[in-house]
A = this chain, B = another copy of it.
Amino acid sequence: MTPSSETREAVLERFRVESITEGALRAIARKGAAVTMQDIADESGISKGTLYLYFKDRDELLHRVSEGGLAQLLAKIEDVFAKGLPFDETIRELVLTKLRFFDERRALYRVHFELRFPHGRDPMCDSKKHNPPPEKQLYVDRLTRYFEEQLESKEDAPRLAQFISETVAGLLFRRIPETNGSKLEDDAQFLSDLLLNGLSGRRKKS
């Protein structure tokens, strides 16, 4: 009734959802994309049934985990843009940021992949599935806008944005499974250089 009580419940709810979300991430980190609800419950320190108080079903839970992660990434990206660095520096920072983000949250990355391949191609079952606005797209959209401002030909912007997004994804793709020895900063540096300069000048003079 009172505003404070409303806030209180809402806060509690958010807290629960967050703690489950984090537990889910830990669980996914341990068990892979095949996490069970029991795994998530255990890792969250609550009981299986409680999960269903906050999420309709497994699908919704995983989607929310995914969305939550993306939102954090978007915030970090925005911080980079806010610095107002020159183009090259911005690109380097963007690459490094995304790389670091997922490197610290390898589990999250798995979830993204699993959600993109919803277990079959039967067109009928898509209707009842969770189909939120393409939150991943938000990230690419933001990049697109930046490129439209910075590049000469606007038309390349969307593809370039997507390309960078996926290129970094590619790097992560390698880094995630094996505990790779190469330093993350070096990878980021290398990738940024390649993006900015391509292979030009690296070829043998021959």
Spell out A's residues near B (CB within 8 Å). Answer: 29-34, 87, 91, 110, 113-114, 116-122, 150-153, 156, 159-160, 162-163, 165-171, 173-174, 176-177, 182, 187, 190-191, 193-200, 202-205
Contacts and interface: CB of A to CB of B under 8 A. Distances in A.
B170 A29 contact: no
Nearest to A180: B162
A101 B20 CA distance: 40
Nearest to A197: B198
B199 A32 contact: no
Contact of A120 (B31, B168, B199, B200): B31
A33 B151 CA distance: 39
A7 B198 CA distance: 51
A181 B89 CA distance: 32
Contacts of A150: 203-204
A119 B196 CA distance: 37
A173 B171 CA distance: 12
13 contacts: A32-B117, A32-B121, A117-B176, A152-B203, A162-B174, A163-B194, A169-B170, A170-B170, A170-B173, A196-B200, A197-B199, A197-B200, A198-B199
A31 to B, nearest CB: 5
